[in-house]
Structure 1
């Protein structure tokens, strides 16, 4: 039995979709670039470790947020005036959400979630 989920997300304005902290924020411009960076952020701990090092007491950070999924996939495409972002991962939204926020801020919306 698989715990993989397919998250369907929407980004209203990809041009302004950048996290608040430039040290963590996505700096690209295309949907493909965003998908590649997000996929890497879910597969590895690099983004999490950069964020953790910035915390007042890194040793007190909840280590469950460091979870990764080496098989995570992300794809993005322009649809009308927004970008559709599809994620397939076994990571729960409580792990995915902060990584999205660090990378692109709050300009995204979860449209649907289904078992993958």
Structure 2
């Protein structure tokens, strides 16, 4: 059953993870939504991260789960970007992908 997550990027320009090759490159809300949606639908971001680990083969493969039906919509409100992600992936996986993409520069505002 899909869950709807509302994520706020209070400072979109600062919403970058610690590893530039894994981080958001987006500037506008539509690009942020597109990049997060791709990170949920495709294993590419997870695989790049996994290969950077000291023992890639020891990484729990469950963290690489994807949801080909995931959708993410973005909007700009005041100076923030809001992303509404609808996915069947567990919250742990969503949070992991967001930490890779945005570091700690995001807030989970609502879950339904």
| Same structural fold, with TM-score higher than 0.5 when normalized by the shorter chain | yes
**Aligned residue-pair number:** 112
TM-score, structure 1 as length reference: 0.94
4+ residue runs over 2 A deviation: none
Runs of 5+ consecutive residues of structure 2 not aligned to the other structure: none
Structure 1 partner of 2:62? 64
Runs of 5+ consecutive residues of structure 1 not aligned to the other structure: none
Q: Following superposition of structure 1 onto structure 2, how do residues 5-84 of structure 1 map, counting pairs within 5 Å?
A: 5-84=3-82
**Cα deviation per residue 1:44-95 (whole Å; 9 max; x = unaligned)?**
1000000000000001001110000000000111112211110000001110
Structure 1 partner of 2:94? 96
SS at 1:101's partner residue? helix
SS at 1:78's partner residue? strand
What is the alpha-carbon root mean square deviation over aligned residues?
A: 0.7
